[in-house]
Chain A
Amino acid sequence: MKLLLLTILSTIVLGCASKETINIGGSTTVLPVISNAAESYRALNPDIRIIVNAGGSGVGINQVGENKLDIGMTSRSITDTEKQKYPNVDFNVISIGRDAVVPVVSSEIYDAGITALTLQQIGDIYAGKISNWSELGGPDQDILCVDKETSRGTRHVFMKAVLGDKEAPAPGADLVLGSNNEEQTALSQSNSAIGMLSNAWLNDDVKGLNILMDDGSKIEPTLANIINGTFPITRDLLIVTNGTPTGNIKAFIEYILSDEGQRIVEQSGYVRIK
């Protein structure tokens, strides 16, 4: 009995030790793609362990800089400050797919008639100039303006589009949240909220707004519009490594860029790049 236990224990210990581990972390926007890809990659290569964690783009970039992660996930480009922080790190950025950041509202507001806004109007809400839905032709209700933590990739892309600066402060914000998941929960719990979500996180409780362009046309946040580039707030899904990847890490990245990997990108609600 003891021997059996010992054998089991040593198999577990040795099994873990002999497996090579790839540590991945960062953006919750890129997360669904990578965790699905990791799962199917593990099925093909049982000898490799892939650990995927969330945290946000800032976390992904910083921890690659500090060599705590093999691959960082990010949904925004690396800022100059971040490059200055890690002068010895050679950030190698690889694009694995495309996504849109969609301004979203609570379904109650969407059903009450607010289905399209201009980027300017959305910017004014975040700047605190518009604070009631009636100013935009909606019901007489205060706007719950949901912002995100400043290092989040989704926020960088969104703020660049609506306020012109990716790190713009948002004095009109009522709540500051973190992951797509947390943001989605808060938006669906409220009946008068506006926020920003990655395209893959839209559902019945949180409706994506159409963007009203200067020429009067309305652009829906559909995959087709993201592919042909007409939707104005799009971005690349990125992964970051320190230097050119080698060995298992390289093999995993090649898998994501392969036809099968790109199919996973599509299944996760994003747009393939190849």
Chain B
Amino acid sequence: MFALNNNIGKSYVVFSTFISTMIIFLILILLLINSWDAISFSGIELFSLEWAPYQNKYGILSMLYGTLIVTFTALVLSIPLGIATSIFTAEILPYKYRFIVKSLLELLAGIPSIIYGLIGVAFFSIWVQDIFQLQTGRTLLTAGILLSIMVLPTIITLADDALTNIPHKYREASKGLGLYDYEVIKSTLLPIAKSNIIGAILLALGRALGETMAVMLVIGSIDKIPSPIYNLLTSGQTVTSKLGREISETAFGSVHFSALIFMGFVLLLVVICFTLIAQYFSNKTERLYD
């Protein structure tokens, strides 16, 4: 009887794992099948600059660049802020306040992205416009700032957990060696929590790459690579904002539709690449937890 229960339990667990892993393959295959029309129609020209469906030109490069530059900006802004905050909440803030501060920060994660988008249109874009004396505040930088706020709770919460989970003996041993508090954090705690913090950044990266609504409203939606290429103060387009704007206007099965799906496929590949790279690096450092 116990053996039977054991078997049922085991196959249930295995089956669940199987389904969860199959979903990602299913999505990849579906995207690939649906983007096949565009691949066979345009071939290598999919990686060109011009997107003009009415002239049958489907170049996704400017969207791809927009996605990468906006995500990069968001992470550059949010990583230092997030890690500094998590050091404060985990190591400096007295335990009884930690819960309150963390709950408030986690509340940030629960705000729907359309709300961020509206705040972005109504305030952030105006501020960016005024501060930098621009024609319009709907820029790559605005989208990056908005995204950095949106991914901040992810980084803070996970990095904070990583630091709090480190056993006390490491802190005690470090202090016993005569290290100052900041040296304990810098030389002992951060290196131990490194792989988990990288995991936190990776999750934030995923959210930033995939965010649609908020970005769509503030980015300006113009399919151009900025000139010069690092100029964040011009409008642009990300893969997701392009999909959000155009997917409902295209007929299912047309080349246009297929090209949009291809863009989604490339985005997924980018996410997978980042995940693999990050895992490769974080596996190198062994966990010291016990």
Contact = CB atoms under 8 A, between A and B. Distances in A.
Contact of B138 (A86, A173, A186): A186
B231 interface: no
B252 interface: yes
A70 interface: no
B126 interface: yes
A178 B245 contact: yes
A56 B249 CA distance: 8
B251 A174 contact: no
B38 to A, nearest CB: 16
A173 B129 contact: no
A85 B253 CA distance: 9
Interface of A (DSSP majority class):
mixed
B245 A175 contact: no
Contacts of A86: 251
A56 B250 CA distance: 12
Contacts of B52: 169
A190 interface: yes
B221 A177 contact: yes
Given A149-B245, A174-B136, A190-B136, A185 B222 contact: no
Interface residues of B, number: 26
Given A175-B138, A176-B222, A190-B136, A185 B250 contact: no
A121 interface: no
Given A149-B245, A189-B129, A175 B222 contact: yes
Nearest to A149: B245
Given A144-B136, A178-B245, A85 B254 contact: yes
Contacts of B250: 58, 62
B53 interface: yes
B125 interface: yes
A79 to B, nearest CB: 9
A189 B137 contact: yes
Given A62-B251, A150-B53, A189-B129, 15 more contacts: A58-B249, A149-B221, A149-B245, A167-B54, A169-B52, A174-B136, A174-B222, A175-B222, A176-B220, A176-B223, A176-B245, A178-B245, A182-B217, A186-B138, A189-B125
21 contacts: A56-B249, A58-B248, A59-B248, A62-B248, A62-B249, A82-B251, A85-B254, A147-B222, A149-B221, A149-B245, A151-B249, A169-B52, A174-B135, A174-B136, A175-B136, A176-B220, A176-B221, A176-B245, A177-B221, A189-B137, A193-B136
